[in-house]
Amino acid sequence: MNIWEIIIISLIKIVIALVAMLLTVAYLVYFERKISAWVQNRVGPNRVGPLGLLQPFADVFKLLLKEDIVPTASNKVLHTLAPFIAVFVGFATYAVIPIGPPIELFGYKINLFMADVNIGILYVLALTSLGVYGITFAGWSSGSKYSLLGGIRSSAQMISYEVSMGFSIAGVLLLSQSLSPVQIVAAQYGWMWNAIVQPIGFITFVVSAFAETNRLPFDLPEAEPELVGGYHTEYSSFKFAGFFLAEYANMIIASAMIVTLYLGGWQVPYIDKLGLGVTATTLIQIASFFVKSAAILFFFIWVRWSLPRFRYDQLMSLGWKVMFPLALINIVWVAALIMIFHL
């Protein structure tokens, strides 16, 4: 392929990914409301469109038409910039997630990811670390004590659980011998899924992902009973929608990362042995990635409507006294497996 063909294919990938992410976020909100209604024995959205399926579009129009209120005491530049940082981090992280094996289309071999970065996992960790700046800027720039406390809580929470997350990923890197998400998926061929080989690391990563995405029972930066709305208390209209969009985009990224790192990515165990043909095999593998991701997203939502919020001291105690030691134990466990079985 020449340079222009590469650019055009890359632009098409970006547009498809952005549209897919926006639609997925919109309907993830719909499914969250439906699942919460199911958990609480309610009906949920059912008025706008058949079965309430047009409710996400009604929500978008409502937020677009609301007045954008900026507090007098706020730092207006940072107050405006914060939601853009949160959205950028949520969407940019998806660039290195592989959703399937390469496909042949119109005579071109097309990889089903934006970029095969050989340090893709470091790229993801670096971007997710930047996400806290959006929340912290929002809390500090709003000129509100409630917002400031929410921003500070988010910083402390993210630092605490990123340590456990990093050590959990270290076990994956030891087994795959690579920082590339594509190579990590390839290393989990058959039933060598990291969730099976290192269950402690899997559990630690999932719990840390809840904390990273500020989802219940780890939504202390928002904590309505004590902080009104936390870091986004002073936001309205489309700026508030930006934080809303970023939260659900981060949920999608967290689910995709869990699938990639621990659940074999797009792989279906030994499907290549069934002789189904290249096209059918590829379609099943792509579908398996989305089914796994959807299952994790359901788990995120189910937990939110099933567990109460932790106290802040319980959250920090869990992070440093439970998650961190477990992540270290997982590294020792993986190192022992490699040494004994020469994995």
The pLDDT tens digits of the residues spanning 27-59 come to 898 999 999 999 888 988 988 889 889 998 898
Q: Where are the domains of the chain?
A: 1-65, 66-341
The residues with which 109 forms a beta bridge, in sequence order, are 104
Residues contacting residue 76 through CB under 8 Å, at least 6 positions apart: 70, 141
| CA distances to 49, 140, 238 from 27, in Å | 13, 31, 18
Token representation of residue 97: 């997630």
pLDDT of amino acid 206: 94
Each residue's pLDDT, cut to its tens digit, for the chain (343 residues) gives 678 777 787 788 888 888 888 888 888 989 999 999 998 889 889 888 898 899 988 988 888 888 888 888 888 888 888 888 888 888 888 888 888 887 877 667 777 777 777 888 888 888 888 888 888 888 888 888 888 888 888 888 888 888 899 899 999 999 988 888 989 998 998 888 999 999 999 999 999 998 888 887 888 777 766 666 678 888 888 888 888 888 888 899 999 999 999 998 988 888 888 878 888 888 899 999 999 999 999 999 999 888 888 888 888 899 899 999 999 999 999 999 988 887 6
- 109 three-state secondary structure: strand
* Ramachandran sector of residue 36 (left: φ over 0; alpha: ψ -120 to 50; beta: rest): alpha
Rg (CA), the chain: 21
Q: What is the pLDDT of residues 54-78, one digit of tens each?
A: 998 898 888 888 888 888 888 888 8
Distance CA(28)–CA(22), nearest Å, equals 10
User: Can you give the pTM of this predicted structure?
Assistant: 0.91
Residue 235 exposed, middle or buried by CB count within 10 Å (0-12, 13-18, 19+): buried
Question: Which residues does residue 177 pair with via DSSP β-bridges, in sequence order?
Answer: none
Tell me how many helices (H) and strands (E) the chain has: 13, 2
Query: What's the pLDDT score for residue 110?
Result: 77
Smallest CA-to-CA distance from 266 within 339, 173, 204, 189 is with 189
- Residue 231 structure tokens: 């870091």
Length of the chain: 343
